[in-house]
Amino acid sequence: MPSARPARRAAALAVVPAALSLLLTACGPGVGGPATSAEGPVEGDITFQTWNLRAEFKDYFETLIDEFESRHPDVRVEWADQPAENYADKLSADAGSGSLPDVINVSPDLAYPLADAGVIMNMDAERATAKYRPEYTKEAWDGYEMPGLGGTYAFPWYLNTGPLFYNKALLEDAGLDPEKPPRDYDALFRYAERIAERSEGRIPTLAATPTIENFGRYGVRLMNEDATEFTYNEPAGVELLTRYKKLYEQGGLDAQALTNTPEKAGQKFLKQRVAMNPGSALDLANFRNNAPSLYENLGITKAPNNTGRPNMYLMGLAVSDQSEHKPAAIAFAHFVTNKRNQEKFGHQTAVFPSTRGSLDKDYWSEDDGTAAGRVRVNSAQSLDGAVNYQPVVMNDEMETILRNEIAKALQGDKSPKQALDDAVAESNKLLRKH
């Protein structure tokens, strides 16, 4: 399933190819004819498209659809589940032909080009959808606000955030208190320097280079207010990259960090070759089955940040603005994402509901003494006040630019300031072309 993890978005929160943005821009608002009314009888045949969920949750969704149809006998829901691969391309093709499904599973970055092209509904602009806003947490609803477009463009659905896993034994070997893991970036870099020094460079603390999310959690202003320019080359951004460069030189950052994928970084943590790695509850079974000595010494804490606001990954359901049966599509999207059904889905897998008050329930607030329970409660607590640091206008090409410039800085080919200045300049050119 699309499982949002701290390693960028993993399969779940896939990036938007530049081609999607370009195609939708070419389409322009109103693709497929005039929008239908958002109010009226709940009736008609609608299509519900999810993103790589059928294999694990077939029974759940079929039961959910049956229940909705029994409540609304004049509606028929056709469920279409798409594989994770090329999902954005599928959306692009459907948008270009005016044949988007009525209800569409999207992450914020996938919603943005659809919203910009005027092919999905503005939830704040329609009385039929705006009335539901109080049912969701403010952070989740705000997660689908689109800069420069005004409004929210999807019903928030499931959320995730990731704890930081750490190896208690490696911290102890470095003379650090394993019960006091780093809470902010100053502490993180101190710990990493100490572990590298005590291990004589054999044990790095981190296995991956910083992403845009790290800049956000460090307290860097990523974009200007209307999201027309990137700004992560400001002094705080240069400071963060400079500290990573120093860590790389000291051995606190893995020597292969420039080429490590999230999977490779995870494997190095599993084999106890690095001291810390972000993850999710889905990793616990892997640790328990394949690295029992790590599992016995596993520390779980919130990912360090300087802002007091952790990162949040989220999924939502958008409604096509060209749906011929918009009242039925709205009713179904709301039904899937209502409090009862979100909580039920959250019990099925390691995701969290975006509805108000849900995370106060015992399942997400009371530690049951298991490692899975600790991760679940830790993550649920981290979602309080969390934000999506990933700019919705940042596509895969822009991420590649940032990653390549960071590599140049770490290798000493450019100064951190020059590398970030160049990354911002190239990415801003792409934004202006859009």
Cα–Cα dist 434/432, whole Å: 5
Return the CATH fold of 163-309+393-433. D-Maltodextrin-Binding Protein; domain 2 (3.40.190)
In the predicted structure, residue 327 carries a pLDDT above the cut 60: yes
The pTM (predicted TM-score) of the whole model is 0.85
Order of strands, sheet of 313-319, starting from the edge strand that comes earlier in the sequence: 75-82, 44-51, 103-106, 313-319, 155-160, 352-353
Give the residue extent of every domain in the chain: 18-161+312-382, 163-309+393-433
CA angle 258, 260, 261 (to 5 degrees): 130
Locus of tokens 């008050």: 357
CATH code that applies to domain 18-161+312-382: 3.40.190.10
363-422 pLDDT tens trace = 999 988 888 888 888 888 888 888 899 999 998 899 999 999 999 999 999 999 999 999
Of the two residues 3 and 384, the one the predictor is more confident about is 384
Length of the chain: 434
In the predicted structure, residue 2 carries a pLDDT above the cut 90: no
Q: What is the mean pLDDT of the chain?
A: 90
Share of the chain above pLDDT 70, in %: 91
pLDDT of residue 35: 57
Q: Residue 15 gets which letter from DSSP?
A: P
In the predicted structure, residue 17 carries a pLDDT above the cut 60: no
In the predicted structure, residue 25 carries a pLDDT above the cut 70: no
List helix spans (H) across 150-198. Answer: 168-173, 185-198
